[in-house]
Structure 1
Amino acid sequence: MEHTKFRNQDMAWDIAALILFPPQFDSAKTYPTIVSVHPFGSCKEQTSSAVYGKALAEQGFVVIAYDASYQGDSGGMPRWVENPTQRVLDISHVIDYAVTLPYVDADRIGVIGVCGGGGYALSATLTDKRIKAVVGITPVNIGRLFREGFSNYDPLGALEAMAAQRTSEARGGDLQVNELLPASLEQAEQFGLLERDVFEATDYYKTPRGQQPGGATRMLFSHAQNTLGWDAFGFAELLMTQPIMVVIGQKVGAFGAYRDGLEIYGRSTASRDRQLVELNDWSHYDLYDREEPVGLALKQMVPFLKKHVANGITQKREAA
């Protein structure tokens, strides 16, 4: 595994990434490559690399797992901005970097994403046709979630509050950084925050199970207004032409991945190959790292990605 940072001419800051290599990696060959997109509030060291990235590298792919702009070890100020437009642009920026690497085959690039990262991966695939196939793992349309549960079903009220807070900050006021989860499982129980997705997110992000320094689970409130006007699945019927797989658990939670997964699958009618994988008895956060559901997901994902991205896994690189 290699730690790296990069930027291109469209960027004013560095993107930090982990590159995971297949066994017996040979830099004289070219490899199919997967860009792995982390969840909302997460970082590259969590499920995007440690679970799915690791597994796909073992199957012969080069995997690039990176931190979103404004988050983790990547640059961008102010910190903890969740901007869907930038999150989608980040994916294309990572691909821009990948195609400069001599061992990456520019014609064999796929994208996977988990949770909000799944929504971003799907959105990027609509317009970046360098992506040959996409897998959304328990994907969430962050725009829909912000308009609904994250704004207490009052998106206009949220936008007014964000506007007032942004004006205050522009005039020198303190930044409002919202913590997205209880500090511990005990606090979640104390305040009755027992809804499945909230409680299981706390178990993942706030315990040794998944906790990482870069997984901040916080958001700059004043800069989230663009999120409420964004739709991960806009124009999917027309633009989602590449093969798409959606993996969802049937234990439904408040963040809405089951609903969103069904929606993007149903709308991707122009896709050359669309597949829906529903896993009985598993939840959104089970698919982050639990051995059995992750194994079931990979059992479907690996053949799908090998078919549409790998084409034999490695190839000899032609001499310059």
Structure 2
Amino acid sequence: MQRRNAVKLSGAAVLALAAGKVLPVLPAKAQTMSNLWDKTFPQSTRVDHQKLRFPNRYGITLSGDLYLPRDRAGEPLAAIVVCGPFGAVKEQASGLYAQIMAERGFVTLAFDPSFTGESGGEPRNLASPDINTEDFSAAVDAVGLLPFVDRERIGMIGICGWGGMALNAAAADKRVRAVAASTMYDMGRVMSKGYNDSVTPEQRRQTLEQLGRQRWEDAQRGAPAHGPVSLELKGGEPQFVVDYAEYYKTQRGFHPRAINSNASWTLTTPLSFMNMPLLSYIQDISPRPMLLIHGEKAHSRYFSETAYAAAAQPKELLIVPGASHTDLYDQVDVIPFDTLEAFFRRHLA
């Protein structure tokens, strides 16, 4: 397995999960979209690429990259919508997954969630379990309207934090015929309970009180506060945080529009997640199939294992030997694309 050497960084702070706002939402137009190839991966000669804008149910305009197999025939194709990781943009892991799946014969759409990247929504750098789940269904709307897509053959791939959102969307959106989640995070669970469910009820209460006071401060100032710039390391951080930095803060995966590369979430983002268990209805994905992929050595592996245990059949759990959480962002010799292709070919037939 080919691995990249770790890069030692200096700086300050771990990922600040965040965002929220008590003030009225501003017009939610898309940001200016770049027509340049500004991805963190090389452009494929086997795929056609174009930009796509589409609205979600809340009136926010989303921006995506549409990937089409260059050798496609005249018949409508199966499509897959892709998003994630949490704090990333479509020019990073989701675009890589989308392009490779397009090389394998699918129409794919990698998109920026609301409030991030080239998508619309104010304030910026905000996440919402409700709106971001809706973003996945809006992407299904968008590909289902394309004349070269068979709208009865649409699947989803969610990566990291958007893996949990994809499972939540698929549970409610019966148009989704198959869903896969790679290196999945359940963001409601981790924000509410901490890693490995280590947060006590008293700690949760204190966090909610702190976030409530932050809302007063944001309301008085007229704008939400943000945390420190993400992933600037001081030393002594857990290995998984170092792994995040090695992806987001180096040439390997840095992108100027990515929150985890160049910015931070607003401080009140955890509020809506803390009362929103995303996977409460995971059994409702059945009888449609679900595939969970996780690294053997990933700190987050337990999210996929407990989701798998809670889900109904048909379901698959693939543990990738030796892989860390971030290996499944971009290590093409580690990500099981053959398994993903076989899964979607079988269930989007």
Identify the TM-score tier after normalising by the shorter chain: 0.7 to 0.9
1:283 alignment partner AA? S
* Cα distance, 1:115–1:180 mapped onto 2, change above 3 Å: farther
1:17-62 per-residue CA deviation (whole Å, 9 max, x = no partner) reads 0000112235x43110000011110011101012x11110001000
TM-score (norm 1): 0.87
Please say if 1:112 is aligned against 2:157.
yes
1:192 alignment partner AA? G
Aligned with 2:61 (options 14, 20, 36): 14
1:221 is matched with 267
SS of the residue 2:296 aligns to = strand
Please say if 1:291 is aligned against 2:332.
yes
1:210 is matched with 253
1:281 is matched with 322
SS of the residue 1:90 aligns to = helix
| Count of residues paired in the alignment | 294
Deviation at 1:247, TM superposition (A): 0.5
1:60-88 per-residue CA deviation (whole Å, 9 max, x = no partner) reads 00000000000000000011111111110
2:86 alignment partner AA? F
CA distance in 1, matches of 2:68, 2:223: 43
SS of the residue 2:115 aligns to = coil
Judge conservation of contact 1:57–1:63 (CA < 8 Å) in 2.
yes
SS of the residue 1:204 aligns to = helix
1:3 is matched with 51
CA distance in 2, matches of 1:103, 1:267: 36
Please say if 1:125 is aligned against 2:170.
yes
Please say if 1:160 is aligned against 2:209.
yes
Structure 1, unaligned runs of 5 or more:
312-320
* Cα distance, 1:91–1:174 mapped onto 2, change above 3 Å: closer
2:105 alignment partner AA? G
Judge conservation of contact 1:125–1:242 (CA < 8 Å) in 2.
no
Aligned with 1:172 (options 217, 221, 237): 221
CA distance in 1, matches of 2:139, 2:244: 27
CA distance in 1, matches of 2:190, 2:337: 26
Kindly indicate which of the two structures has a greater share of residues assigned to strand.
Answer: 1
CA distance in 2, matches of 1:143, 1:7: 25
Please say if 1:24 is aligned against 2:65.
no
SS of the residue 1:107 aligns to = strand
1:54-65, aligned counterparts within 5 Å?
A: 54-65=99-110
Please say if 1:148 is aligned against 2:193.
yes
CA distance in 1, matches of 2:198, 2:216: 22
Identity of aligned residues (%): 29
1:246-297 per-residue CA deviation (whole Å, 9 max, x = no partner) reads 11111032xx2x101011111112x3x2111011111110111113211xx1
CA distance in 2, matches of 1:93, 1:157: 36
1:85 is matched with 130
2:62 alignment partner AA? I
1:4 alignment partner AA? L
1:128-147 per-residue CA deviation (whole Å, 9 max, x = no partner) reads 01000011101110011112
TM-score (norm 2): 0.80
SS of the residue 1:291 aligns to = coil
2:143 alignment partner AA? A
SS of the residue 2:255 aligns to = coil
CA RMSD of aligned residues (A): 1.8
CA distance in 1, matches of 2:231, 2:284: 40
SS of the residue 1:292 aligns to = coil
Deviation at 1:306, TM superposition (A): 0.4
SS of the residue 2:81 aligns to = strand
2:46 is matched with none
CA distance in 1, matches of 2:159, 2:117: 16
SS of the residue 1:287 aligns to = helix
Judge conservation of contact 1:34–1:110 (CA < 8 Å) in 2.
yes
CA distance in 2, matches of 1:45, 1:115: 15
